[in-house]
Amino acid sequence: MTQPSVTETTTIRGLRHPVSRIALGTWAIGGWMWGGPDDRQAVATIHEALDLGITLIDTAPVYGFGHSEEIVGQAVAGRRDRVAIATKVGLDWNADHKPFRNTSAARIRREIEDSLRRLRTDYIDLYQVHWPDSAIPMEETARTLEDLVREGKVLALGVSNFTIAQMEAFREFAPLSTVQPPYNLFERAMEHDILPYARQHDLAILAYGPLCRGLLSGKMTAETKFGPDDLRSADPKFQPPRFAHYLQAVRELQDFARERHGKSLLALAIRWVLDQGPTIALWGARRPDQIAAVADATGWQLSAEDRREIDAILTRCIPDPVGPEFMAPPGH
């Protein structure tokens, strides 16, 4: 029996080949803020993603403080020509593993060599500034990254968590191919500015958190608990009284997905992101079974009426929505 696969692709300016519109996100694989790593399962998850037709993997040095990149490098060894690797730059951390922003030329030069070594490759397809750094001139950051492109160590440049003004400043000194904001059914601020800007300037959007840290998987209940080392223990969405509101929305969205399209909520959440524009959905997973349903999100679309009904559910169930602001790391 043929395994279903991801067939929708898009192009990212500067990359050698089109990439799948569903990418594998590897924050959780690194273990940090997700309850610790499981390397065997992580490698199996990456292999499953590649077998399903996912051709873009997104990682970062700070995901497990190098561990996620090491696992990606291990998993794609021998398959490097089948995958585009996106990683990030510009977050440093202290001895206590407390991240802080640092996009200086010296930090970038050190990070690129560390990332190439961990990823077991001689080039990175997409290199993204993880968070904007107000303490370092944008010219220094952008020109250093453009030098890496000229040197052949990087194919294309992107930014993550940038505002329009910050992207405009970056583009004065270096070309920009992608932007990576948080985006899902529950976190939609980027629709007002980032989305139209990306359309205008031909930027691919790598939407992170399309399942809202597992909330849109449909597997959580009011009894679900999160340990102190789990990111969600600090997320306002997962605290009372808001958690109950979001879970009610999840239940109604589950019913809508099943009755209208015969799909899971998880598939609906990914499809919704893909239907919004020049988007790539970063599907985070720690185990192979968490990525197995990826093909259910491709090959169909939501109608305008579907989107209106989804919006009505959100308005009815969530009186006090919150965004992902709690995740922002401090400056220097």
CATH assignment of the domain containing 14: 3.20.20.100
**In a 3-state reduction of DSSP, which class is residue 186?**
coil
Domain membership of residue 180 (yes or no) is yes
Cβ(81)–Cβ(66) under 8 Å?
Answer: no
Return the ∠ at Cα 89 (arms to 87 and 92), rounded to 5°: 130
pLDDT at 308 over 80: yes
Q: Which residues contact 252 (CB under 8 A, 6 or more apart)?
A: 313, 316, 317
Domain membership of residue 325 (yes or no) is no
So what's the pLDDT on residue 124? 98
Domain membership of residue 287 (yes or no) is yes
In angstroms, the CA 67 to CA 49 distance is: 19
Q: Per this entry, what is the length of the chain?
A: 332
- Structural domain including 187 reads 7-214+270-300
pTM: predicted TM-score of the whole model, two decimal places: 0.92
Domain membership of residue 159 (yes or no) is yes
Residues acting as catalytic residues: 63
Domain membership of residue 227 (yes or no) is no
Q: How confident is the model at residue 37 (pLDDT cuts 50, 70, 90)?
A: low
Domain membership of residue 109 (yes or no) is yes
Residue 70 phi, psi (nearest 5):
-60, -40
> What is the mean pLDDT of the segment spanning 312-319?
97
Rg of the chain on CA atoms, in Å: 19
Number of domains in the chain: 1
Domain membership of residue 222 (yes or no) is no
Return mean pLDDT, the chain: 92
> Burial of 284 by CB count in 10 Å (0-12 exposed, 13-18 middle, 19+ buried)?
buried
So what's the pLDDT on residue 290? 86
pLDDT at 227 over 70: yes
Of 137 and 3, the structure prediction assigns the larger pLDDT to 137
pLDDT at 43 over 90: yes
So what's the pLDDT on residue 167? 98
So what's the pLDDT on residue 4? 61
Domain membership of residue 149 (yes or no) is yes
144-187 pLDDT tens trace: 999 999 999 999 999 999 999 999 999 999 999 999 999 999 99
So what's the pLDDT on residue 332? 62
